Chains A and B, each alone.
Chain A
C-alpha cells in the first residue's frame, strides 16, 4: 500500500493526481485535526494509537502498513506545512518509546517490522536555497528516525508540477 499525506484541497488533489483508493490510503485535511499535546499517551496509555480521537489517531499504525509513504507539502521555512507536520507529530506511535544508538546518535526502537520508503514532494514558488538545504536535512533525519529503506526529496514550483513528476512513477 502507498500512504499518501497531502495538504491540498481534496478537489485539487484529485485533479492533479489520480491515485486510486484500492492501493492507496490518503490522509488529507478535513479541518478537524488536533495538535499533539506531548502527553506520550500513544506510548504508555494506548500503545500504538494516539489518545486524541479526531480521526487522525491511527496514523502510526498506517505507517506500518505502507510500502511507500508519499508526502505532498507546501514548503514552510525548509520543512513541512502545518497540516502535514501535524500528521507526522501525531504518528510517533509508529516507534517505541525505547532508545537505541545508531551512528552514535540516539533514536527510537521500532514497534513494527516493516520498512517503508519515504518520498517527499515539496512545492512552493519562492523556496530559497537555504530552505531546500534545511528540507533535505530534515527528510534525511526523518528517514533515519522512521528507519526507512530509502528516501527521496523533490522540489517543484507548483503542486501541478509535482503531479507530473509522480505521474510516470506512481500511476
Chain B
C-alpha cells in the first residue's frame, strides 16, 4: 500500500504530531511505501499532491487548535477536497493531540475530519486523540507500555494494526497514565514559568494585558 502521512503541526522543530508519527512509522512500514509531508514547511509541490491524491491510506496528524482543526490544516484539506482523489477507496485515519489533559476534547475535530471525508468521497478509518499532548514527547525515555506510556502503547498497537489491515476501528481518546492534578502543576512549574524566565519575564508578567 502507499501511505501518505501528513504532519500538520506548524512547529518548525519538534512537535507531538511528529513524535507520534515517528512511533507509528516502524509499525506500519512492512510491505508499504510511506511518505511523510510537512505541510507547514511551505506549499507542497505538484508531484507531492499527486502522490497524496493517489495513496491507499491517508494519515492526518495535527494538533487541536481552538477546539478544532488548525486554520493552515483546514486550508490544506480544502485544497485536497477540491483536487479530489484518484480512488474512492482511500482510507483516512487521524492522529489528533491536544494541550488539555483529556484526549476526548479532540472529538469535535474528529467529527470535522469525518465530514471532510464524506465531502471528499473517502472512506473513514479511525481517529486517535491524545490528551496532555505537550507532555507526551517528554516521556520518551520511559519504555513504551510502562507507567505513563501504558495507554499510548496499547492505542498505537491497535491503530497500527488497523492501518496495516486497512480496517476501520473505533475512535480512541486517551491521556498519559499520570494524575491530572500533578500534570496541571507541572505545566506551570516545569513549562510556563521556566519558558517565561528564559524570556526574562516574571510570573507576574505573564498575567499582563495585551498591548
Contacts and interface: CB of A to CB of B under 8 A. Distances in A.
Physical interaction between A and B? yes
Interface of A: 35-40, 43-49, 58, 60-61, 64, 76-83, 85-86, 88-89, 91-93, 96-99, 101, 105-107, 111-112, 128, 130-131, 133-134, 137-138, 141-142, 145
Contact of B111 (A36, A49, A130, A142): A130
Given A37-B10, A37-B12, A64-B209, 7 more contacts: A36-B72, A44-B195, A86-B71, A86-B72, A97-B187, A134-B115, A141-B67
* A36, A91, A112, A134: residue with the most chain B Cβ atoms closer than 10 Å: A134
29 contacts: A35-B10, A35-B40, A35-B70, A35-B71, A35-B72, A36-B65, A36-B70, A39-B11, A43-B192, A44-B199, A44-B206, A47-B201, A47-B210, A77-B74, A77-B115, A79-B69, A79-B74, A82-B72, A82-B74, A85-B69, A86-B72, A97-B206, A99-B101, A99-B187, A111-B209, A111-B210, A112-B209, A137-B108, A141-B105
B61 to A, nearest CB: 14
Interface of B: 9-12, 15, 40, 63, 65-72, 74-75, 77-78, 100-102, 105, 107-108, 111-116, 118-119, 180, 184, 187-188, 192, 195-196, 199, 201, 205-211
B58 to A, nearest CB: 15
Nearest to A141: B67
B192 A38 contact: no
A141 B192 contact: no
A111 B100 contact: no
Contact of A85 (B40, B71, B111, B113): B71
Contacts of B71: 35-36, 82-83, 85-86, 88-89
Contacts of B199: 44-45
B112 A134 contact: yes
Contacts of B12: 37
A138 B112 CA distance: 10
A141 B66 CA distance: 9
B102 A77 contact: no
B174 to A, nearest CB: 15
A44 B194 CA distance: 9
A142 to B, nearest CB: 6
